[in-house]
Structure 1
Amino acid sequence: MKKYIFLFFFVFLLAHSDEITQKQKDIKENERIVKQLSKKLEDLAGEILDNEKNLKKIASEINLLNGKTLKLENSVKTQIKALEQLNNQNKDLLKNKNQIEGKLIDLIAKDFAYDLAIPQNYIESEDGIIALEIIGNLDKIFNEEFLKISKDYEDINKKIEDKENQIAVINTSLKEYKNQIDELRNLRKKQEVEIAKQKTDKEIYTRKLSSLQVQQQELRKTLNQLKIIQEKQEEKVVQKQEDNKEKNNIKQIGSSFQTSNVKRYVGAKTISPLESYTVKQQFGNYVDPIYNIKIYNENVVLKSTNPDAAVRNVLDGKIVFAKATPTLKKVVIVENKEGIHTIYAHLDKIAPGVKVGRNIKKGYIIGRVESDLTFEVTQKNYHINPLEMIR
């Protein structure tokens, strides 16, 4: 019974092995996509450019190998025919070799028979003398025939060796051809996989690029509504979007590029909104290397090194905005002294005590983020690089 259960289990696994392998591949690719989504825009762009070079290299290798394979293919048919002929010739030679070996054995046996001891009284007789003379002549004939057959045997062995060498050369050539066919097949499979990855990465990159623009536009709109930036800036963006509605998505992403009024921060350094982080997106101009689109980043993106990290208010001030938005998750804006506004976007949680109109101190916990925090600073219609402000 156990034997049948084991057999059933084995057959089941065998039948579903391809499905399991494919699911494992899908899981691995999904994990890769999640990883790509969390990368910096410029890092992802770098990977895409590197992969473009890799794809060109693979294509070049395929073309080179394809050329070699075609050359070999032209001679393969001839070589296969030659191999068949050589094998047939070799069979005939081996057959002849066996026949010669048989003749040699017969000669040796006959020679041995004539060399058997002859009685002394017979040797001294007249018949014996005649017999000895005949045997001597026969020995001479046997020796001559033996030498001839031995020479034939040596020649046929040499021919067999030559044929076997030719067969070995052709087999090596055919093996090389097969190896090149296998290598070509593997390269094409690799190319298909890399092209699929490249397509996915470009889609991710385009989405991230588009999302970045949408988020910046929403943030500008919010700042405009709060009279933190001039209204005409937002109007320019909207107008450009309307003018480019008929263009493709990539062009639409680049159509809203605008430089911002920027000034240096001259105040005292303050705390950072996150205790532990890396800078995922820098402030200022970014030229997209894939589509050559210019983007002006008016904020920085700080990636927390800890999940569910507390977000701290960096300067004393009053909360002027605190709510969830369609693309920026939860947003808190604080009005600070000397016309400064600090903007915290992509919050996963807003602290219960955060209410519009409330005054809060530096270091007050305004919310939490799982990973990325978008941090922006303005001063009287100018943008400031947030990294100049924080320690």
Structure 2
Amino acid sequence: MKKCFWLFLFSFSILFANEIAQKQKDIKENERVVKQLSKKLEDLADEILENEKNLKKIANEINILSSKTSKLESSVRNQIKSLEQLNVQNKELLKNKNKIEGKLIDLIAKDFAYDLAIPKNYIESEDSIIVLEMIENLDKIFKDNFYQISKDYEDISKKIEEKQTQITIINTNLKSYKNQIDELKNLRKKQEQEIAKQRTDKEIYTRKLSNLQVQQQELRQTLNKLKIIKEKEEEKKVTQKIDEKKPSNNIKQVGSSYQTSSVKSYSGVKTIAPLESYIVKQKFGNYIDPIYNIKIYNENVVLKSNTANAAVRNVLDGKVVFAKATPTLKKVIIVENKNGIHTIYAHLDKIAPGVKVGRNIKKGYIIGRVESDLTFEVTQKNFHINPLEMIR
């Protein structure tokens, strides 16, 4: 009963340890996914392309190593057989060596016994002379036997040494083969992990790319409804004709927002940025996706705040014409400014209580807050302006 209890406890502890290890692995992967989601689209694309190169390199290393191990496999099988035979032969040689050692000891003992048989002060006689001659003859026989046995001992020792050298060489080869097999297993495991990472990164990238297109479409529709940006049929036809003449280079154009004729430079006075501390996560203008060869025209910039729950500032004096939550852009505020300029703030997490449609607000007024990314867009009389040209 006690043994069963300890066995159960041991099995439970192993299962529990495996579960903890799996959870730690899942947490680590989730942290990686969160990190990948927060990256710039182009940085994530660069990483995916770099991983593709890395995967090709790993695949090439696996092919080379697989070829090596395949060639060695038949040789290794033969070497294992040879090793077994050598071990048997070596065992037999060691037995013979021990026997020869026994014979040598026996000869030395007999030779020593005959030496003792002759006293130091013996009296010469006919019998003693005969005995002495017999001992001398025996001594010669012992010496001959001793020489032959010694030679046999030396030969067998050399054979044992040779066999041992062969055994060492084979063991070294087998160890090298095992190391190559282990390396191959590790490479295949690494390949599986990298493929899984690449699959996740591509899913994240595709989602981000799709979201970008959906969000741009929604923002354009909102601007169309408010009559801030109007799509002219003539413009669409001209753009279409120009694009038809251009070589495709396998690049797909996605989204109605791609209109190069709708862009103009900002000529006014520079103003404050909507965020106090930020980095530019997405730039204004053309973006050719290197993964799927999709061409997108970014009509806005994405500013990533360096602090959480950051205050969003109104960049120019104006009147609020739109302030509400949307399906994909979170909360959006649009401010009408002088000279036909409109400033658009999207992906807000909070809208300030004082921001209402129809209200006039000053430059620097806190219109809301963002946890991380702010989408900032500027238009002027049916043209898009690079927002980075406007801010200091």
Task: Give the TM-score, by structure 1 length.
Answer: 0.92
- Give the letter for the 2:291 counterpart: I
Equivalent residue, structure 1, for 2:197: 197
Which residue of structure 1 lines up, in the alignment, with residue 211 of structure 2?
A: 211
Letter in 2 for 1:359: N
Q: CA deviation at 1:211?
A: 0.2
| Rounded Cα–Cα distance in structure 2 between residues aligned with 1:6 and 1:215 | 60
Partner of 2:54: 54
| Equivalent AA in structure 2 for residue 193 of structure 1 | Q
In structure 2, distance between residues paired with 1:36 and 1:292: 21
- Higher mean Cα deviation, 329-338 or 171-180? 171-180
Residue of structure 2 in register with 1:276 after alignment: 277
Deviation of 1:36 (Å): 0.5
Residue 25 of structure 2 aligns with which residue?
Answer: 25
SS in 2 for 1:104: helix
Letter of the structure 2 residue corresponding to residue 175 of structure 1: K
Matched, 1:378 2:386: no
Contact map agreement 1:209 1:253 (CA 8 A) in 2: no
Aligned partner of 2:220 in structure 1 is 220
C-alpha displacement of 1:224: 0.3
Q: Distance in 2 between matches of 1:342 and 1:112?
A: 118
Specify the SS of the correspondent of 2:342.
Answer: strand
User: Which 10-residue stretch deviates more, 328-337 or 171-180?
Assistant: 171-180
- 1:385 to partner: Cα distance: 0.4
Contact map agreement 2:216 2:257 (CA 8 A) in 1: no
RMSD: 2.3
- State how far apart, in whole Å, the 2-side matches of 1:335 and 1:310 are: 20
AA aligned to 1:174 is L
How far did 1:23 drift? 1.4
Asked whether the equivalents of residues 213 and 253 of structure 1 are also in contact (C-alpha less than 8 Å), the reply is no
Q: Which residue of 2 aligns with 1:243?
A: none
Distance 1:296-1:48 versus aligned 2 partners, 3 A rule: same
1:16 deviates by 2.1
- Letter of the 1:14 partner, please give it: I
Q: Which moved more, 1:121-130 or 1:253-262?
A: 253-262
Following superposition, the deviation at residue 231 of structure 1 comes to 3.6
Q: 332-341 or 120-129, which moves further after superposition?
A: 120-129
What does 1:1-391 align with in structure 2 at a 5 Å threshold? Answer: 11-116=11-116, 118-119=118-119, 122-232=122-232, 254=254, 256=256, 258-260=258-260, 261-391=262-392
Q: AA paired with 1:105? A: I
Paired residues in the alignment total: 378
CA contact (8 A) 1:123 1:129 kept: no
SS at match of 2:297: strand
1:210-234 per-position Cα deviation (integer Å, ceiling 9, x unaligned): 000000000000000000111447x
Aligned counterparts of 1:46 and 1:197: Cα–Cα separation in 2: 14
Distance, in Å, in 1 between the alignment partners of 2:28 and 2:253 is 31
Q: Which residue is 1:245 aligned to?
A: none
Distance change (3 Å), C-alpha of 1:127 and 1:103: same
Alpha-carbon spacing, 1:124–1:64, altered in 2? closer, same or farther (3 Å): same
Sort the Cα spacing of 1:255 and 1:318 in 2 relative to 1 into closer, same or farther, 3 A: closer
What is the rounded CA distance, in whole Å, between the counterparts of 1:253 and 1:25 in structure 2?
A: 40
User: Unpaired segments of 5 or more residues in structure 1?
Assistant: 241-250
What letter corresponds to residue 352 of structure 2 in structure 1?
A
Deviation at residue 119 of structure 1 after TM alignment: 3.7
Give how far 1:13 is off: 2.4
- Give 3-state SS (helix, strand or coil) of 2:254's partner: helix
Aligned letter for 2:87?
Answer: N
8 Å contact from structure 1 (residues 210, 253) kept in 2 = no
Return the alpha-carbon distance in structure 2 between the equivalents of residues 289 and 106 of structure 1: 88
What CA distance in whole angstroms lies between the structure 2 residues aligned with 1:174 and 1:328?
Answer: 63
> Structure 1's 107 and 26: CA in aligned 2 closer, same or farther, altered over 3 A?
same
Asked if 1 retains the 8 angstrom alpha-carbon contact of 2:264 and 2:385, the reply is yes
> What's the offset of the Cα at 1:286?
0.6
For residues 21-68 of structure 1, the C-alpha deviation after alignment (integer angstroms, 9 at most, x for no partner) is 111111111110011011100010011001000000000000000000
Percent identity, aligned pairs only, is 79
Aligned AA (2:217): Q
> Quick one: distance in 2 between partners of 1:161 and 1:23?
55
- Asked if structure 2 preserves the Cα contact closer than 8 Å seen for 1:123 and 1:132, the reply is no
CA drift of 1:12 comes to 3.2
Letter in 1 for 2:389: E
Question: So what's the TM-score if we normalise by structure 2?
Answer: 0.92
Amino acid at match of 1:112: F
Q: Which amino acid aligns with 1:332?
A: I
CA contact (8 A) 2:45 2:290 kept: yes
Output the CA distance in 1 between the equivalents of 2:319 and 2:123.
144
